[in-house]
Amino acid sequence: MNEYLISLYIDDELKLQEKIEFVENIHTDNSYYRETIALLEQEVELRDVHSFSQVPNDYTTPSFLGFLVKRWWSAGVVTALLACFILVAGLKLFPVNPVALNTVALEDHRFVLYFPTEEELNIIGTFTNWKPVPMQKVGSSGYWNLTLSIPEGEHKYSYMVGDGEMIADPTIPAREKDDFGGENSVIQLGEQNVPVS
């Protein structure tokens, strides 16, 4: 019980009346006095050992909890510094090849459509995030074309004529119905370069 009261005294958690009783006990009981002084000296040593930690000054906790917070704070700072050192050392020992980071292979693909009656033609699909991309008119031939760099894999697309009408690519047999009652063309880009059926 004495250690508990001494701990409350050290942490300044005694009420005013309890402080009076505590001081009276120290004056009347010599062993209580020696135990209080020993625990106060131990507290001074603990605070000196952990004074390098950067816990904010306005952070107030009971001494034992304060000791744990300071120890955790110090361990966290040391761990973060160690992680940074390992990361930097790892990058020096094992440099990253920027080319290896680009894991998505791109393929140039040319889209061609014969549509002589239109003055504006767009392509829209998964490779454009379903946003219209204008195609280029090839002189007065009636053909429209566009070459895009597209990631390998399966893609769906349609052509959008000037009035907003969507039409599938007539040169691609693979089709898929869309959510609006129309059809999208489906192509598979990659090593095989074979349309999906």
Q: Which pLDDT tens digits describe the chain residue by residue (197 residues)?
A: 566 667 666 767 778 888 888 788 878 888 878 877 777 777 777 666 555 444 445 445 455 555 555 555 556 655 766 676 676 666 666 665 554 444 567 888 899 999 898 889 999 999 999 999 999 999 988 999 999 999 989 999 999 987 788 999 999 999 999 888 889 999 998 865 445 54
Task: Identify the pLDDT of residue 53.
Answer: 47
What's the pLDDT score for residue 93?
65
Report how far residue 118's alpha carbon sits from residue 141's, in angstroms, rounded to the nearest whole number: 12
Distances (CA, A) of 148 to 110, 127, 128, 133, 172: 7, 9, 10, 10, 17
> What are the structure tokens assigned to 188, written together?
């598979």
Which amino acid is present at 160? M
Do residues 123 and 157 make contact, with C-beta atoms less than 8 angstroms apart?
yes
| Tokens encoding 106 | 């791109």
The predicted structure's pLDDT at residue 132: 93
In this prediction, residue 55 carries a pLDDT of: 47
Tokens 């050192």, residue? 85
Which pLDDT score, from 0 to 100, does residue 39 have?
72
- What pLDDT does residue 71 have? 58
